[in-house]
Structure 1
Amino acid sequence: MQNFSKILPQIAWDAIDTVMLDMDGTLLDKHFDDYFWEVYLPEHYSLLHNISIQEAAKELRERYRKLENSLQWSDIAHWSHELKLDISELKLRIDHLIAVHPYVQEFLEFCQRLGKRLYLVTNAHPRTLAIKLDKADIGTWFDRLICAEEVGFAKEQPQFWIRLQSMLGFDPARSLLADDTEKVLQTAARHGIGVLIHIAKPSSRRPTVYSEEYVSIDSFKELIGPVK
């Protein structure tokens, strides 16, 4: 049970040039990912190996944990090879679960009207990005879509932000990052990203969890203000 108050957003938009947004859990409902990795994939893995779904889920959780905060965690080619299952094909079978969070479109339009540079910055594999943007019509709002694979490091790693700044030429102090993973926000903070926003409800099926350290929002509606 949380016993602290939500830190409310107070954004000085005239002090921000660049807006960087995570995809899974931030722009898109994380229910798709949670269901895929925790339910759907274990079901298929259990059939392949003739074990119970519970055993499959336990084995997969252990495999996931070993690769947390690394590029391999999001590499569907790696998982397809390791698990002997076509991860891309399995994701396509349940792509009807891919959904955009409320007020995302409105926030992207708001940023565009303000003339901000907009970047989608995700750990997702390029194939996963393509699958999701085929169902979620948000890709055209961005100046550039960046997968961690292109950068060479996961967002949780300090080298990611060094290389990303070199690639995009943004001023960290005049940049905003929204992400549902606090470890990513912590790493970005160490790089000097000026405004950090925590997404408190990444999945529509799970409880809201506010950050003790960062400004938290339930939806992007909280960041949309009048355009001067």
Structure 2
Amino acid sequence: MLFDMDGTLVDSEKLWDVALQELAAVYGGTLSEAARRAIIGTSMAVSMRIVHDDLGQPERDPQASADWINARILELFRDGLRWRPGALALLRAVRAAGIPTALVTSSTRPLVEVALDTLGRDSFDAVVCGDEVGAAKPHPEPYLTAAQLLGVPIERCVAIEDSPTGVASALAAGAAVLAVPAEVPLAPVDGVHQLESLTAADLELLSALLGERPA
């Protein structure tokens, strides 16, 4: 099992909203809704480029902006993260069944370390962070790396995602994909099973998704 984090397991996208709008205000502007939607699921480097372009300030240093965002989001994460509906129950069921499990996120390791205080450090056999791969989502590398760390063929993995970027990454890697939209609606995609909430997901469904694939 391969779980995305932001918007999939925890309702952290609202915290990113806060940090991004605060950064835009520091720069004397307001982040547009279109830009905010485009950011979801992307790497920090891509996110900062979107912010700067949206504000009409492409000359700004992306690393300086990333450092500001990272510091602010750490504060917000420490104040507590809320689970997405059904996420904790599904994660517990997967772990109780002894299924190898990885967290695959575009967030950086320092942020993930804080999030693991909520998620549980024993909830995952492997953790792949956005700053620990050569290419971030939508590239397949994060999911391929996670499968390799678990020692499981990617074709026998189910990835759970909430964003178009994450879905594209998991599909390109070759995983079965369960999509549960959070902040951004997802258009139907061939080969992707979509649910409104993880409250409707269980081990039987996950097994069925793998059963639909070639052995």
Structure 1 CA distance for aligned equivalents of residues 186 and 64 of structure 2:
35
Deviation at 1:81, TM superposition (A): 3.9
Q: Contact 1:22/1:120 (CA < 8 Å) preserved in 2?
A: yes
1:178 aligns with 2:156: no
Consecutive unaligned residues in structure 1, runs of 5 or more? 1-18
1:64-213 residue pairs with structure 2 within 5 A?
69-70=42-43, 72-73=45-46, 81-83=63-65, 86-95=68-77, 96=79, 98-134=81-117, 136-193=118-175, 195-200=176-181, 202-203=182-183, 209-213=185-189
1:223 aligns with 2:205: no
Deviation at 1:82, TM superposition (A): 2.4
Corresponding letter in the other structure for 2:200: E
Q: Which residue of 1 aligns with 2:18?
A: 35
Corresponding letter in the other structure for 1:223: A
Judged with a 3 Å threshold, the aligned counterparts in structure 2 of structure 1 residues 137 and 166 are, in CA distance, closer, same or farther, namely closer
Judged with a 3 Å threshold, the aligned counterparts in structure 2 of structure 1 residues 174 and 72 are, in CA distance, closer, same or farther, namely same
Deviation at 1:26, TM superposition (A): 0.5
RMSD: 3.3
Ranked by relative contact order (alpha carbons within 8 Å, sequence separation 6 or more), the top structure is: 1
Structure 2 CA distance for aligned equivalents of residues 112 and 211 of structure 1:
30
Structure 1 CA distance for aligned equivalents of residues 22 and 195 of structure 2:
29
Deviation at 1:132, TM superposition (A): 2.4
Percent identity between the two aligned chains: 20
Deviation at 1:105, TM superposition (A): 1.5
TM-score w.r.t. structure 1 length?
0.67
Q: Give the secondary structure class of the aligned counterpart of 2:160.
A: strand
Structure 2 CA distance for aligned equivalents of residues 167 and 131 of structure 1:
22
Deviation at 1:197, TM superposition (A): 0.8
Judged with a 3 Å threshold, the aligned counterparts in structure 2 of structure 1 residues 80 and 211 are, in CA distance, closer, same or farther, namely closer
Deviation at 1:69, TM superposition (A): 4.5
Structure 2 CA distance for aligned equivalents of residues 186 and 80 of structure 1:
25
Deviation at 1:210, TM superposition (A): 4.5
Structure 1 CA distance for aligned equivalents of residues 148 and 203 of structure 2:
31
Consecutive unaligned residues in structure 2, runs of 5 or more? 49-60, 205-215
Judged with a 3 Å threshold, the aligned counterparts in structure 2 of structure 1 residues 166 and 199 are, in CA distance, closer, same or farther, namely same
Corresponding letter in the other structure for 1:128: L
Judged with a 3 Å threshold, the aligned counterparts in structure 2 of structure 1 residues 80 and 99 are, in CA distance, closer, same or farther, namely farther
Judged with a 3 Å threshold, the aligned counterparts in structure 2 of structure 1 residues 32 and 149 are, in CA distance, closer, same or farther, namely same
Q: Contact 1:179/1:185 (CA < 8 Å) preserved in 2?
A: yes
Q: Contact 2:101/2:150 (CA < 8 Å) preserved in 1?
A: no
